[in-house]
A and B are shown apart, each in its own frame.
Chain A
Amino acid sequence: MFASYLLSGWIVASLVAFAAGFTGFFVVLRRESFAAHALPMAAFPGAAAAALCGVAQWPGLLVAALLGVALLFWLKRGQRRDAATALALVALLGLGALFLSLSGRYANAVYGLLFGQIFASSPADIPPALALAVLVPMALLMFFRPLLLGALSPDFTAGGAKGDVLFLIILALTASFALPVTGALLVFSLMTGPPGAACTLAASPRTGLMLSVVLAVALIWSALALSAATGWPAGFFTGVLAALLFLAARMWRRARQAPQLPGPA
């Protein structure tokens, strides 16, 4: 289906989608969509700063994303959570705008970091993506029970804040690894659309998690195939297909729940 030079992009995207399916399941259950949107965006100045200093992107991204988590927790004191998230998001994005502007590679870098340049990835991008696809699912499976109980109600776990910090750090990890290859938008769509559909359809947490991962990988494959066929950006197909998938899942569930109307005899 793909030319050989597209192969590494395809592998990287699949690995990122695999990890995003895991993280996204907990994003939806813990109602952290805004944080899942904000943290990839918050990692953005890290990449911009790295570009400015001429060093590798990974450390910059990681530091910025973790800084975003810390900022989120500091701002959250005495503030509504969603407002605090918004403030942390614009704080780091504003810095990103400055760094990019100073580095003089403004235009292309912005498009790439926001919307991703998946087909531009090289075989060198595979090892970090592989690390992500191993580490994140491992961490989430290890803390499956406390994270799930905490999502249902903080009353189930005495130290609710601990689980919160842990999850946001995992989210920041996912974001900073995925950002340079897939862009902030793509990883966010992968972390909300397929898991949202999976939570709507699945009965139990176990099937929900598996469905979330399967749908995320299927989504990125369809998006990449459509993108390769049309030459349009993969980010467009990911965003739109994620929304369609979620909508279809909702409609299917509603149709099944609706009382059966007596059909014509």
Chain B
Amino acid sequence: MLDGFFASTVVQSALLIGGAAAALSGIIGVFTILRGQSFAGHALADISSSGGALALLLGISPMAGFFGLSLLGGLGLGQRRRADSSLVAGIMLGAGLGLTALLLHFAVSQRGVAGAAVTIMFGSLFAAPPGAGAWALGGALAGLLLIACLYRPLLLASLSEELAALRGAKVRLLDVLFLGMLALSVTLSAMSVGAILSTALLIGPAATALRLTRRPPAAMALAALLGVACAWAGVALAYASYGWTPGRVWPVSFFITACVLLTYIIAAWRRG
């Protein structure tokens, strides 16, 4: 059984994409929670689903589609910390999902791709296109590198924009760069667990880590570790589930989400 698990190229690719997505999302997620942008992160994910639908319609790589549209959404979201930023995010999210509805409608009627909604919204880690693993790894490494360069100003700006500006940081530029990184992590997570479930990888491990430690670097390391562990456990469980209900694999996204939430509940329980 285990031999088959690791020998399968599908599984290898799933482990690679899921791991890369979870590691990047865990770290970006800590910043997202500290900046109070959880809704923006989720909105970007929902908006990116129209990119997935567009890619399906045009027959291009879904990763390019997800990334393009979530980047566009990030630019549209603009600045945070406005009183109405959640309303703006919500309305953009609605427009983005509306676009998804239209593109899916075309995809189904013109190209006959049944089940497209499921693939885009809830993911299909086992059906990733060949080569996606390499792209995911590259994307995650690029994102991690960017965070390493921007770590100090980004953290300071997350806590207080004024303090960061006093230290000479360009707060507006940081906002845009952060939304770019958020778009990248949303893209990778959307490839793994689907657009609307990608929030599980972004917020879940980060929230768990922040319950366990207050120090930002430790929280980021912990979130990345927990995320990768959950993603891999989810892949393994989905693989094993083939034997539970004959002939049908339980969705890998469900297992990843369940692992993420279980770790959060255990952490919250232990901390009271």
Contact = CB atoms under 8 A, between A and B. Distances in A.
Contact of A90 (B39, B94, B114, B257): B257
A42 to B, nearest CB: 12
B97 A86 contact: no
Given A93-B196, A233-B102, A236-B98, A106 B118 contact: yes
A119 to B, nearest CB: 13
A174 interface: no
Contacts of A75: 268
B81 interface: no
A239 B43 CA distance: 13
Interface residues of B, number: 59
Nearest to B38: A82
Interface residues of A, number: 51
A114 B117 contact: yes
Given A34-B39, A78-B211, A97-B197, A114 B87 contact: no
A91 interface: yes
Interface stretch (B13-21, B153-161, B174-182, B246-254): B246-254
B72 interface: no
A232 interface: yes
A185 B33 contact: no
Contact of A239 (B98, B108, B122): B98
Given A107-B117, A110-B117, A239-B98, A196 B91 contact: yes
Contacts of B101: 114-115, 185, 233, 235-236, 239
A89 B248 CA distance: 26
Contacts of A82: 36-39, 86
Interface of B: 33, 36-39, 41-42, 83-84, 86-87, 89-102, 104-105, 108, 114-118, 121-122, 194, 196-197, 199-200, 202-204, 206-207, 211, 245, 248, 250-251, 253-254, 257-258, 260-261, 264, 268, 271
B229 to A, nearest CB: 17
Contacts of A85: 38-39
B39 A239 contact: no
